[in-house]
Amino acid sequence: MGVSAEPVREAEFLVKWVGKSHAHNEWVAESVLARLAKRKLANFKRRHGAQPCCLAEDCWSIPERLVARRPSPVGPGWEVLAKWTGLGYEHSTWEVHTLLLPCPSILPHTPLASFPTQGQASPRPERRKLLKGALA
């Protein structure tokens, strides 16, 4: 009677890439990660041990709003500056507009042309000026 041994699965880590949003997080095998970022992997394992844990929130990959747009540097089309749900503006990233526009959390009926281009100020609503004596 032979004991069938199941193949041992290599540990994988959910990686958030520098300069990319959480929407681009991906699972990477430990052996690959050891070649790419040996020190970061060792620090993570020292801090969190061998127990499975997830430090990323699901909402961080959901766009909250589009802040600006610019022509794509790699081809035709636009890139949009996306502010992500649950994160501050310092975590906003430039994304290809076709990846974000189908997202229901963003104004679904707003045309891309209505977003300001890079370097252009967002349109501000007009403010009513209170006249002296108007409240009297």
Average pLDDT over residues 67-87: 87
One CATH from 1.10.1200.10, 3.40.30.10, 2.40.50.40, 3.40.50.300 for 59-114: 2.40.50.40
pLDDT at 100: 67
- Rounded to a whole number, what is the distance in angstroms from the first to the last CA of the chain? 98
Report residue 32 as tokens: 């690959």
Report residue 126 as tokens: 């007009």
Q: What span, in angstroms and rounded, lies between the C-alpha atoms of 47 and 30?
A: 16
Determine contact, residues 18/36, Cβ cutoff 8 Å: no
What is the length of the chain?
136
Determine contact, residues 69/115, Cβ cutoff 8 Å: yes
Per-domain boundaries in the chain? 12-48, 59-114
Q: What span, in angstroms and rounded, lies between the C-alpha atoms of 21 and 93?
A: 6
What are 1-54's pLDDT values in tens digits? 556 667 778 889 999 999 898 888 999 999 999 999 999 999 999 998 878 888
Look at strands 63-71 and 78-84 and give their pairing: antiparallel
Q: Tokens 């747009």 — which residue?
A: 69
Helix %, strand %, coil % for the chain, to 5? 25, 20, 55
Average pLDDT over residues 64-72: 87
